[in-house]
């Protein structure tokens, strides 16, 4: 019976893949346009806001900087969150670095046997956040007027951070206070660490951008075949919103960078919730980074909970910061920026060739 179910699942996946391929050929123009837009978004939004943090995160792990960072907050981490202080450093880094960085850091710790499987799965639930560079610098400017964009973007970021912090405290509420680490963190920086981190960060960016482009093609197929339209009609009826807005929310649910297309400031609580959830595309990125190291069941259950917390915290922070959205006509900077330079694509191609070369590090060492 188990073999039969496995065969049926494989057959369904094969049929879906073949159907997807046929639809891509039939609707090649729409798919090409969507992929082109996704590539531009990767080069102008995703890579600028995420790559440096991706490379730096590897340096923080290899150099043990994360342990030193966690030690500064040792009392809060141990007594309030019931979390070992060095792991709180991972939480802080992942909170400002961007969605997949937490998974990358935890996977590296797991590979080095510095964290067990159970703790890795629990920590992954909260080490997941859109970085301030994207939330403030991109989402803030796309949803709100220039006068309040920074303040509003900061409120959205803090909503996600507070939601993760609250869930972390709730998950560990019955755990005992962990022992204080008496050993002083020993920092270790070297040329090899820098080069390895830069190359590893680049490879991670390629994975992230590849998944975004794939989802762009998938979204295009679902749109031109009318599937997104039918779902949006149901969403419009259920929540009393317009069909174009519901389509935008569906696209954002699938690929979070589409959130830059939202130009209604009144949607800030929903935007906070969606940023906390991350979208199906980001979830697939996390799976690609984690691989088969550990299960994502707890993580998948935790994200909707955090999204709900973020929705509530967004209302609280917007009230605390006295952000008046009724007088804030948003100026969608990101979606109105249609300039595109082919030089960026050339750089991406060069980066791809360099990063896929297994001899890159070896050549550097032999210089």
Per residue in 11-28, pLDDT (tens digit) is 887 888 888 888 888 888
**335 pLDDT more than 50:** no
| Whole-number pLDDT of residue 294 | 87
| Whole-number pLDDT of residue 314 | 96
| Whole-number pLDDT of residue 359 | 45
How much is the mean pLDDT over the chain? Answer: 80
pLDDT digits (tens, 9 = 90+) for 73-123: 888 888 888 888 878 888 988 888 778 788 888 988 888 888 889 889 999
**Where is pLDDT greater, at 41 or 344?**
41
pLDDT digits (tens, 9 = 90+) for 193-206: 777 778 877 877 88
| Whole-number pLDDT of residue 3 | 64
**Where is pLDDT greater, at 288 or 69?**
288
pLDDT digits (tens, 9 = 90+) for 222-247: 888 888 888 888 888 887 888 888 88
| Whole-number pLDDT of residue 185 | 65
**Where is pLDDT greater, at 61 or 206?**
206
| Whole-number pLDDT of residue 331 | 46
Lowest-confidence region among 43-47, 133-137, 292-296, 338-342: 338-342
Distance separating alpha carbons of residues 326 and 156, to the nearest angstrom: 17
| Whole-number pLDDT of residue 1 | 59
pLDDT digits (tens, 9 = 90+) for 161-179: 999 999 999 998 888 888 7
Question: Domain limits of the chain?
Answer: 27-365
In this prediction, residues 41-53 reach a mean pLDDT of 77
Give the confidence band of 364 by pLDDT, cuts at 50, 70, 90: very low
- The answer to whether 96 and 85 have CB atoms below 8 angstroms apart is no
pLDDT digits (tens, 9 = 90+) for 114-153: 888 988 999 999 999 888 878 887 788 888 888 888 999 9
């Amino acid at each position: 019976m188990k073999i039969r179910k496995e065969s049926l699942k494989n057959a369904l996946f094969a049929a879906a893949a073949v159907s997807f391929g046929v639809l891509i050929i039939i609707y090649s123009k729409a798919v090409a346009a969507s992929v082109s837009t996704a590539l531009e978004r990767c080069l102008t939004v995703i890579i600028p806001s995420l790559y440096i943090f991706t490379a730096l995160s590897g340096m923080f792990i290899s150099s043990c900087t994360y342990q030193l960072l966690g030690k500064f907050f040792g009392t809060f981490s141990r007594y309030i969150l019931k979390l070992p202080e060095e792991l709180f450093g991972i939480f802080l880094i992942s909170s400002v670095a961007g969605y997949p960085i937490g998974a990358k850091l935890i996977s590296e710790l797991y590979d080095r046997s510095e964290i067990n499987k159970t703790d890795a799965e629990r920590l992954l639930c909260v080490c997941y956040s859109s970085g301030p560079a994207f939330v403030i610098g991109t989402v803030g400017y796309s949803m709100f007027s220039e006068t309040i964009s920074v303040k509003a973007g900061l409120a959205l970021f803090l909503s996600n951070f507070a939601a993760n912090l609250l869930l972390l405290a709730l998950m560990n509420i019955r755990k005992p206070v962990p022992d204080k680490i008496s050993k002083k963190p020993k920092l270790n920086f070297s040329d090899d660490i820098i080069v390895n981190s830069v190359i590893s960060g680049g490879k991670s960016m390629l994975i992230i951008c590849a998944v975004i482009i794939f989802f762009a093609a998938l979204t295009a197929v679902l749109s031109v075949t009318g599937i997104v339209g039918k779902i949006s009609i149901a969403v419009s009826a259920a929540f009393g919103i317009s069909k174009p807005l519901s389509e935008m929310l569906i696209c954002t649910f699938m690929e979070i960078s589409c959130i830059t297309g939202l130009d209604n400031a009144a949607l800030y609580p929903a935007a906070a919730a969606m940023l906390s959830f991350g979208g199906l595309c980001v979830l697939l990125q996390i799976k690609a980074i984690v691989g088969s190291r550990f299960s994502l069941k707890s993580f998948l259950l935790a994200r909707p909970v955090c999204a709900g917390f973020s929705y509530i915290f967004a209302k609280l922070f917007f009230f605390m910061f006295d952000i008046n959205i009724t007088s804030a006509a948003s100026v969608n900077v990101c979606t109105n920026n249609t300039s595109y330079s082919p030089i960026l694509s050339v750089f991406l191609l060069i980066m791809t060739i360099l990063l896929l070369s297994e001899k890159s590090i070896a050549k550097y060492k032999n210089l």
